């Protein structure tokens, strides 16, 4: 295993379990350790003056947590929610404080065990797509699954658009 890392630069040292889910027919993965639970879709209270990907807040057994639509966040085509739509509840952290956030995904697929030998560095796309928050791409059975640094994507995010006040 050791010489694998040096054999090719393309290999990244990423391993562990990832939960994969579908967004517009593509499969993505998030570290299982970041995930608290998966719940079905429930009543969402919209929050005024927030960007379109912020769907609102839900009452998760007494705790109020924000919910965002990952499709909209990644600027994919919006889709109507159906009975397969889930909310993946994740625990994120910014500077020592952790917070919970729900992510709306098309459906969850599996828990994937990732070893360094199946992960490749994100290829360069050449357009303005920012691969900073993509940990790498896992190749499994002729499919590719994009592994996301979900903390990096969402912890920086401001969920209120103040411009809309004017």
Q: Phi and psi (nearest 5°) for 65?
A: -130, 145
Smallest gap from Cβ 41 to other proteins, in A, equals 13
What is each CA distance from 34 to 12, 161, 164, in whole angstroms? 20, 26, 32
- Tokens linked to 159: 């969920």
Q: C-beta of 37: minimal distance to other proteins in Å?
A: 17
Report the residue number, 120 or 157, with the smaller CB distance to other proteins.
157
Answer for the pair 89, 80: CB distance below 8 angstroms, yes or no: no
CB of 36 to other proteins, least distance (A): 15
Residues at the interface with other proteins (CB under 8 A): 43, 45-50, 57-59, 61-66, 94, 96-97, 99, 101, 157-160, 162, 164-166
Nearest CB to other proteins, comparing residues 103 and 119: 103
B/e letters for 92-131, b = 16+ CB within 10 Å, e = fewer, are beeeeeeeebbbbbbeeeeebebeeebbbbbeeeeeeeee
Task: Kindly give the residue spans of alpha helices, DSSP state H, lying in the chain.
Answer: 2-7, 70-73, 150-155
Q: Closer CB to other proteins, residue 99 or residue 129?
A: 99
> 143 or 164, CB closer to other proteins?
164
CB of 102 or CB of 136, closer to other proteins:
102
CA distance 49 to 6: 50
Closest to 55 in 3D by CA, of 85, 95, 97: 85
**Cβ 128 to other proteins shortest distance, Å:** 26
CB of 143 to other proteins, least distance (A): 34
């Amino acid at each position: 295993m050791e010489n694998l890392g040096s054999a090719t630069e393309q290999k990244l040292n990423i391993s562990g379990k990832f939960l994969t889910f579908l967004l517009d027919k593509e499969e993505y993965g998030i570290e299982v350790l970041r995930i608290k639970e998966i719940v079905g879709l429930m009543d969402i209270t919209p929050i005024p003056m927030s960007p379109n990907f912020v769907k609102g807040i839900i009452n998760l057994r007494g705790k109020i947590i924000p919910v965002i639509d990952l499709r909209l966040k990644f600027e994919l085509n919006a889709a109507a929610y159906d009975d397969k739509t889930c909310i993946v509840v994740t625990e994120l952290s910014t500077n020592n404080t952790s917070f919970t956030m729900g992510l709306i995904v098309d459906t969850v697929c599996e828990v994937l065990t990732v070893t360094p030998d199946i992960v490749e560095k994100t290829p360069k796309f050449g357009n303005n797509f920012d691969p900073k928050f993509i940990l790498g791409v896992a190749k499994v059975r002729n499919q590719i699954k994009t592994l996301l640094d979900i903390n990096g994507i969402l912890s920086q995010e401001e969920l209120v658009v103040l411009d809309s006040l004017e």
